Structure 1
Amino acid sequence: MELFKCLFSVVVVALLACDATAQNYWSMPLQEHQAPLPTQQQPTVPPAAAPLEKCQVEQGDKIQCGTPDTTAELCENLNCCFDGSHCYYGNAVTVQCTRDGQFVVVVGRDATVPKIDVESVSLLEMNDPPCTPVDFTSAFAIFQFPVTGCGTTFKDEESYVVYENHMSSSYEVGVGPRGSITRDSHFELLFQCRYSEAGVEALVMDVTGVPPPVPVAAAGLLRVQLRLGNGKCPTKGCVEENSAYSSFYSEADYPITKVLREPVYVEVNILERSDPNIILNLEHCWATSSPNPESMPQWDLLIDGCPNQDDRYLTTMVPVDGSSGLTYPTHHKRFVVKMFTFVDQSDFSPQRDTVFIHCSVEVCYPSSTYACEQSCNRQRRAVAAGRKVPSNRKALVSSGEVILTKQRI
C-alpha cells in the first residue's frame, strides 16, 4: 500500500474581536518551577469565550498569551484562557492581529479529534523563513508573520482594509488496489485581519473533524465547472469565438453532436468565489471516449496549460480579459478544440464516435515570488511543474457526451 500526503478541508465561520496593543502575544511554555505571577482577581470559572475543555491544558504545555500582567478581561478579548494568575493559549486554533501589522496564529494539537500533528501544519506559501513556525512544542505550533507577507492577499473595503491568508495541515492517505483511506485529522484555516479606525478584528475560519475527500469537482473551498459554448454570431462579420461563449449547453442538451474539425468551444471557470486576486490555471486537459477520465484511449489537448504540440490541429487558447464582460476574468479559462474521433490502435480504423473532455485545474494565489502566469516556454513549464500545490486548490472537471455525426454536405 502506497502512502502519500494530501490536504483537504471544509470550513465553518466564527468572528472574534482583538483589541490589544501588545506586540508580544506569546512566550515559551510556562514551567511549574517558575515563580508565580502576582495574584489578580479571578473568576471561579473560565470566561464564556473560553470553554472548559479548551482550557484544560497540561501545566507543562501552557504557552503564555499576552504579557505577564494580562488581565482576565484582556485575556478573554485575546480568545485565550485565564487560570487566576496568568493567560495562556487553549486547546484550539487561535488567531490574533496586532496593531503593528502582525498575524499571530497558535495551533493546538487537541484542536481536532484525533489529535493533529502540529508539525504538519504550514502556511500555503512558506518559502521564506518568516513564513515557517517561529516555535514548536509537543502540543502547539506557533506562527508570527507580517500581514503583508507569506502570501497574504489584500483587499480595500469601504471602512476597513482586509488581509487574508491560509493555513493547512497535511494528512496521510493509504492507497490500495481497490480504495484509499486516511486515519489522520486535518483542517484548513482561512483567516483575516481587518483594520479600521474603530480597531482590529480577526475573522477566523476553522475546521476540525472533517471526513476524507471525495472524487468530485468540489475539493474543499474549490468548486469548478466545465461547459461548452453554443453561442452564434448575430451579425455578418462578427468574431465567432467571442459569440460562442455568450451562451452554453445545459445538462439537458447532452449528448450534443459535432462533425469532424468543427470547433468545440470549452470554458472552465471557478464557481461561488468573489476574490479578484485568485487565478484559475489549467494543468492538463484531455479527451476520452468514455465518461471515465482515466479510461483509454486518451488524447491530450493541453499539457501544463499549453496546446499539445503533437496535434496537427492545435488547441487554441482564447484570451479572457476585462473586455470579456466577466466580473472576474481570472476565474475563467477558454480554449477551442477541432472535433475528432478515436481510431483503433492496430489498424487505425475509426472506432469511437463519442468524446468526453476532462481538465485538471488549480487555483493560484499570486505572490511576490510567483505571478501565476502560465508560459508555454519549456524552461518556464519545468519550473512551474516543480511547485507543490495543496489538493484543496485542485479539481478535476469533465464535459458531457459529444457525439461525432456524419459530415454535412
Structure 2
Amino acid sequence: MPAMMALLQRLLGVVLVCGVCAQQYWRQPQKHPLTPTFQKPQQQSKVPPPAAPLHECVLEEAEKIQCGAPGITVDQCQDISCCFDGHLCYYGKAVTVQCTRDGQFVVVVAREATWPPLDVNSVSLLDPNEAFCGPVDGTSAFAIFQFPVTACGTTLKQNDEGYVVYENHMVSSYEVGIGPKGSITRDSHFELLFQCRYLGTTVEGLVLEVNPVPPPMSVAAAGPLRVELRLGKGQCVSKGCLDDVAAYSSFYSSSDYPISKVLREPVYVEVRLLGRSDPNIVLNLERCWATSNPNPQSVPQWDLLVDGCPYPDDRYLTTVIPLDGSSGLEYPTHYKRFVSRMFSFVNSDTYAPQKDTVFIHCATAVCYPSRENSCEQQCHRQRRAAAEEVPPSHRLLVSSGKVILLKSTSHQKR
C-alpha cells in the first residue's frame, strides 16, 4: 500500500480531469496480465467537474486511497473528481477517469460504483493488446489503471469542433450459471466508455452519462383462479426483525406491476390456495421456474423448485420457508413460500446477458392426506408418489406479473 500511495501522489498531484461517457452493456471480456507502466501527469483541466455526491465519499479510513498531492485544497481535490474529508483528498465510490496533458488515461474503478457491487478483479479493457494495459495497482475495493491514450485499443477521431478525441472501453466479466433450458447470471457488470479531448493546449472534460432504465411495461396476465402467486414487499422496521417474516407482511398489488429488482436482490414468493376452508388439504408446488416472457412454456427457462425442493444446480439455492401454526396463517397448509435471488437470462451460445425481465411460474397440486400419503414433500427423494396420486383436475398453473431487472445502479460522478 505505501508503494501504491507514492505512485498515486506522483501520478495525480497535477492531474487533468477527463470526461467520461459510461453505458451499462452486457459483455464478457477477456482477462489480461498485470504489468504496470507509469508517466507523470502535469497540469489540471481548466473545466473543473462538480463535487462528488456525499454518498460516494463515505468510506472507512482503511479504504481511502489518496488522490492528488499532499496538502491539496478542497477545490483542487474537487477539480480532479475526488472526495475531501478536511485533511485528505481520496477517491470516492465511483468510476473516476482522469487524463493528463502528456497523454495518459488514469482510471480508478470502485467496487461500489454499481449495485450489486462489482468484483474489481473482473474489470478490464476491451482490447488489452499490450501487457501494461492491466491494472497498475488496487485493493479489494478499487482497481487502478494507467496507460497512454494511444495504447490498449484506444480509438482516435476528430470531432466537428476540431478536438482530437481518444476513446476507450472498459468492462467487467461475470459468472454464468448454465441449466438444461436456459442460462442466467446474478453478477453486476457494466461497460464504461471514456474519452479525452484535446485542442491545442486545451483539455476538456465530458459529462458522465449512464443509460436510463427502460420504462416499465404492462402487467402480465394473472394465473388461474383459486390459486394465487404473489410477491412479498414488506420490510423490517424494528430491531430483531426477520426479513423472511417481514417480507410477507404486505404484497405487491396488480397496480404495482411491473416491479423492479437488482441482481441478487431477494424475491419473496408466496403461492396460496383461495376460497377453501378445509384445514386438512395441502397445497404443494410440483415445480417452479422462471421465463423471460409471460408464456410459461417459452425458453429460456430457469428452475427454482423441482418437486417442491430447491433446484440443486443453482449456485444461489432457492430457500423454502417452512410454515406451521406459528406462522399466524389460519390454514398454513394452504400456503407455500420461498425466496429466490434476482437474475438475468443470458444467451446460451454466447453467454451474453440479453433478457432483463423475469416471470415466475409454479405448477401446483392440491393434495388430500391419507393413511398412505401424508402429502409432505421431501427433498432428495428420486420419486415422489404424492405427485402421481393427484388428479389432473387438482393441478393448476399460476404465474407472477413482470419483474424487471434494474441494471446495476451507478454511483458514478456526473
Q: TM-score, normalised by structure 2?
A: 0.44
Q: Tell me which protein shows more strand as a share of its residues.
A: 1
Higher relative contact order (CA 8 A, sep 6+): 2
